[in-house]
Amino acid sequence: MSRLDRSLISELPLFQGIEPADLDGIVGQARSLRIARDHTVFDQEGEAHSFFLLLDGRVRVVKTTPEGQQVTVHYISPGELMGIAHALGRTTYPATAIAVVDCVVLAWPGNLWPELAARFPNFGAGTFRTVGARLQETQQRVIEMATEQVEQRVAHALLRLVKQTGRKTDEGILIDFPISRQDIAEMTGTTLHTVSRLLTAWEEKGLVRSGRQKVTVVEPHKLFALAEGRGSKG
């Protein structure tokens, strides 16, 4: 096992205002894990033994209904916490986390969370902000699902991904991990067929370029106009 040191986390907003020696202590209590693509970091209903910090890669958080339908709740980017069931007073994970590319994570024992939060108020407050932001985002999605039609929802979802993980290329802004029509459908509550049709239509209008597990947004502003319900017909 490789030596872990504070440089892994010292730049993250979550750990600002904590003494270097303490950072070493915190990191010292973590295990570092590599999660191969398509493998899970933790599983829905599983015992919440740990909480995690994503250092590198990208993780999809999915809830599965009793009927077996999947809904993608959130994408995790590097620097974010995940699996903080303990902090929320739960003993099992409420969702499954799947690595969409090879990932590196730090894992702490779940029961360490209260201790860390008590000793480092900034850490506790940071977790609070994370959860708060996630609540905001989730409420926003409820609003979208309740008031927008599919085309706008898919457009919003793509723009969100672009903001979180967009990488500039010569064609436009590439969503920087493999993402299928099915994945987008699970984020927006529609079917892969409808997503496919939308992407084809947008490609014809020059808004996006897309291929197998790959989407590039060429004209973010036009896509945004569409997301806001001001499509070309308005």
- Residue 182 interacting partner from its own copies, DNA, none (CB closer than 5 to 8 Å by kind): DNA
- Residue 90 interacting partner from its own copies, DNA, none (CB closer than 5 to 8 Å by kind): its own copies
154 token code pair: 């898919």
Residues pairing with 216 in the sheet: 174, 209
Q: Is residue 3 exposed (0-12), middle (13-18) or buried (19+ Cβ within 10 Å)?
A: exposed
The residues that touch DNA, with contacts defined as CB under 7 A, are 149-151, 180-182, 189-194, 196-197, 199-200, 210-214
Contact between 128 and its own copies (CB under 8 A)? Answer: yes
Contact between 20 and its own copies (CB under 8 A)? Answer: no
Provide, rounded to whole angstroms, the least separation between the CB of residue 164 and DNA.
19
Q: Give the C-alpha distances (Å, rounded to integers) separating 13 from 6, 8, 27, 96, 190.
A: 14, 12, 15, 25, 35
Alpha helices for 29-120 (secondary structure H): 113-119
Out of 11, 19, 118, 171, name the contact with its own copies by CB under 8 A: 118
Provide, rounded to whole angstroms, the least separation between the CB of residue 80 and its own copies.
14
Of the candidates 57, 2, 49, 53, which has an alpha carbon nearest to the alpha carbon of residue 26? 53
CA dihedral (168, 217, 61, 112) in degrees, to 10, reads 30
- Residue 94 interacting partner from its own copies, DNA, none (CB closer than 5 to 8 Å by kind): its own copies
Q: Provide the mask over 36-65, with x wherever binding to its own copies is found by CB under 8 A and - wherever it is not.
A: ---------------------------x-x
